[in-house]
């Protein structure tokens, strides 16, 4: 098994790959959602409940009986020996990783972080995001077409923003981009995972110590100064923010641009009506559902969801792609409509773990798409769409490269 499989159950290919169009959920998944809202799926030694209905997804993600502790779940513990489990996830390496915690432990971290992710800090970052976006576009234009939009724009923008937020030197980006990509790859072995996790944490620990000695006005310095978090916890938090904060947004920018280019009427509508951007961002989040493999939980106690009883210890996977295309929730769910009225997609999750960085991600995407379409109104693919390499080997869906011209 790969390291990702320990914390994320795999689904059979017909439910996990994309459909005929690279933006659509797998055909098997769409057929399954037509038959019900929660399904029992057996694959590769796992039996999981797969949620495809919108209301049921929200119920699972809001239920206090559902645990996010994927590291210590009965499933993860059954898959590897106690010795290997202890080697892969020693307590000091779990510290601060609050995405895997349940209340009340989660609440403590989430409160401290919400205190740092203030509206003010996000507002202050907006001009800087504009600057970052503009600088990257200037450089891309200066080099001239064709360009790889991932390399020149979609990846550097969120990487620079998260570096700014955390007070990481952008010169160190190779250090975290390469390791993050490894950690999110579905083919990374458990040994490689241990090596990458240890190295990334060492890098982060160095950063935490630097902030202790010489605090700035970044978020990490704020946590060092204003809270009683210890170095292991701070390292875990910095790690989580860095991993969660740049690959996701990068893939939304790249895959979102690809989707717009493949829907020229929507591209033109957005380009000619930039006031639609915030709406378009929500629609792209819904339509693309880059957290393709879904969000998983396990039941701590028996719980009723959508007419079935999920027994204590069982795993539930909320299929983000299926839920965001639920036809009971959206008219014409498979259409990309940049002016679609905003609904309640689950692309940022729901409940106590709902994405902490969602406002930041929204600003990055809004500024990114607006400026990209304004500066390059004639943007188009530089290769046939079928040749764009899709990221099917990663737990976050997107494209490896997006060759464009203008
Ligand atoms: C949680 C998606 C951007 C930080 C989540 C969850 C989702 C998600 C689905 C819930 C996971 C769960 O319930 O288990 C996304 C997407 C993004 C994005 C699609 C980009 C478009 C960001 C950014 C940051 C961030 C920019 C930080 C700067 C976090 C953190 C959590 C989280 C810290 C854990 C929250 C908790 O457990 O309380 N994200 N995210 N995310 N996200 Fe994001």
Per-residue confidence (pLDDT) for residue 268, from 0 to 100: 98
User: Among the atoms of ligand 1, which is closest to the Cα of residue 110?
Assistant: 38
Shortest-distance Cα residue to atom 41 of ligand 1: 357
The Å distance, Cα 359 to ligand 1 centre, comes to 10
pLDDT in tens, 73-131: 999 998 889 998 888 888 888 899 999 999 999 999 999 999 888 878 888 899 999 99
Domain residue limits at 400: 3-405
Q: How far is the CA of 356 from the centre of ligand 1 (A)?
A: 6
pTM for the complete prediction? 0.95
- Tell me, in angstroms, the distance from the centre of ligand 1 to residue 357's CA: 6
- State the pLDDT at residue 307: 94
Q: How far is the CA of 347 from the centre of ligand 1 (A)?
A: 9
Buried/exposed 190-211: b ≥16 CB within 10 Å, e otherwise: beebbebbeebbebbbebbebb
Q: Is the C-beta atom of 355 inside 6 A of ligand 1?
A: yes
pLDDT at position 88 is 84
Q: Enter the DSSP assignment of 39.
A: E
Whole-angstrom CA distances from 154 to 12, 140, 335, 360 are 30, 11, 24, 15
Atom from ligand 1 closest to the CA of residue 365: 21
**Helix extents (H) in 262-323:** 264-272, 277-288, 320-323
Phi, psi of 83 (to 5 degrees): -65, -45
Ligand 1 centroid to residue 169 C-alpha, Å: 22
Write out the two tokens for 306.
Answer: 């959508």
Which of 355, 367, 398 is the best mutation target for the ligand 1 pocket, counting ligand atoms within 8 Å of the beta carbon and taking the most? 355
Cα 365 from Cα 261, distance rounded (Å): 16
DSSP 25: B
Atom of ligand 1 nearest to the CA of 117: 28
Atom number of ligand 1 nearest to Cα 101: 37
Q: How many Å lie between the centroid of ligand 1 and the Cα of residue 144?
A: 34
> 45: Cβ–Cβ under 8 A, 6 or more apart, which residues?
none
* 179: its two tokens: 């390791």
Any alpha helices (H) in 39-104, and if so which ranges? Answer: 54-62, 74-79, 82-88, 91-94
Split into its structural domains, the chain has a count of 1
- Strand duo 46-51 + 66-67: pairing: unpaired
Question: Residue 320 sits in a domain of what CATH number?
Answer: 1.10.630.10
Asked whether 181 and 393 are in contact (CB, 8 A), the reply is no
| Closest residue by CA, ligand 1 atom 32 | 355
The answer to whether 232 and 92 have CB atoms below 8 angstroms apart is yes
Paired tokens of 73: 């779940």
Decide whether any atom of ligand 1 lies within 6 Å of the 295 Cβ.
Answer: yes
ipTM of the complex: 0.99
Sign of CA dihedral 383, 280, 255, 324: negative
Q: Ligand 1 mean position to 159 CA, how many Å?
A: 15
The low-confidence residues of the chain, meaning pLDDT below 70, are: 1
């Amino acid at each position: 098994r790969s390291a990702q499989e320990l914390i994320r159950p795999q689904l059979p290919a017909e439910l996990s790959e994309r459909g005929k169009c690279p933006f659509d959920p797998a055909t098997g998944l769409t057929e399954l959602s037509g038959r019900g809202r929660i399904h029992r799926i057996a694959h590769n030694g796992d039996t999981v409940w797969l949620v495809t209905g919108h209301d049921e997804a929200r119920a699972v993600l809001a239920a206090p009986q559902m645990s996010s502790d994927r590291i210590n779940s009965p499933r993860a513990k059954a898959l590897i020996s106690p010795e290997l489990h202890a080697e892969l996830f020693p307590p000091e390496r779990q510290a601060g990783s609050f995405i895997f915690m349940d209340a009340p432990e989660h609440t403590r971290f989430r409160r401290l972080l919400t205190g740092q992710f203030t509206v003010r800090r996000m507002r202050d970052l907006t001009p800087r995001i504009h600057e970052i976006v503009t600088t990257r576009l200037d450089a891309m234009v200066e080099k001239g077409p064709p360009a790889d939009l991932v390399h020149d724009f979609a990846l550097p923008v969120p990487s620079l923003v998260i570096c700014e937020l955390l007070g990481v030197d952008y010169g160190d980006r190779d250090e975290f981009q390469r390791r993050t990509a490894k950690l999110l790859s579905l083919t990374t072995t458990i040994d490689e995972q241990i090596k990458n996790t240890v190295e990334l944490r060492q890098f982060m620990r160095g950063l935490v110590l630097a902030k202790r000695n010489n605090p700035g006005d970044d978020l990490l310095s704020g946590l060092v100064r204003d809270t009683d978090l210890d170095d292991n916890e701070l390292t875990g938090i910095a790690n989580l923010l860095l991993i969660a904060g740049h690959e996701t947004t990068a893939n939304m920018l790249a895959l979102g641009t690809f989707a717009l280019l493949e829907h020229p009427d929507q591209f033109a509508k957005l380009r000619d009506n930039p006031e639609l951007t915030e709406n378009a961002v929500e629609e792209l989040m819904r339509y693309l559902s880059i957290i393709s493999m879904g969000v998983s939980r396990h039941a701590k106690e028996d719980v009723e969801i959508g007419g079935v009883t999920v027994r204590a210890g069982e795993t539930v996977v909320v299929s983000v792609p299926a839920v965001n295309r639920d036809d009971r929730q959206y008219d014409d769910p498979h259409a990309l409509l940049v002016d679609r009225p905003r609904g309640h997609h689950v692309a940022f999750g729901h409940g106590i773990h709902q994405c902490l960085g969602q406002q930041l991600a929204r600003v990055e995407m809004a500024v990114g798409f607006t400026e990209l379409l304004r500066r390059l109104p004639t943007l188009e693919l530089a290769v046939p769409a079928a040749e764009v390499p899709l990221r099917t080997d990663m737990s976050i869906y997107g494209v490896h490269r997006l060759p464009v011209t203008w």
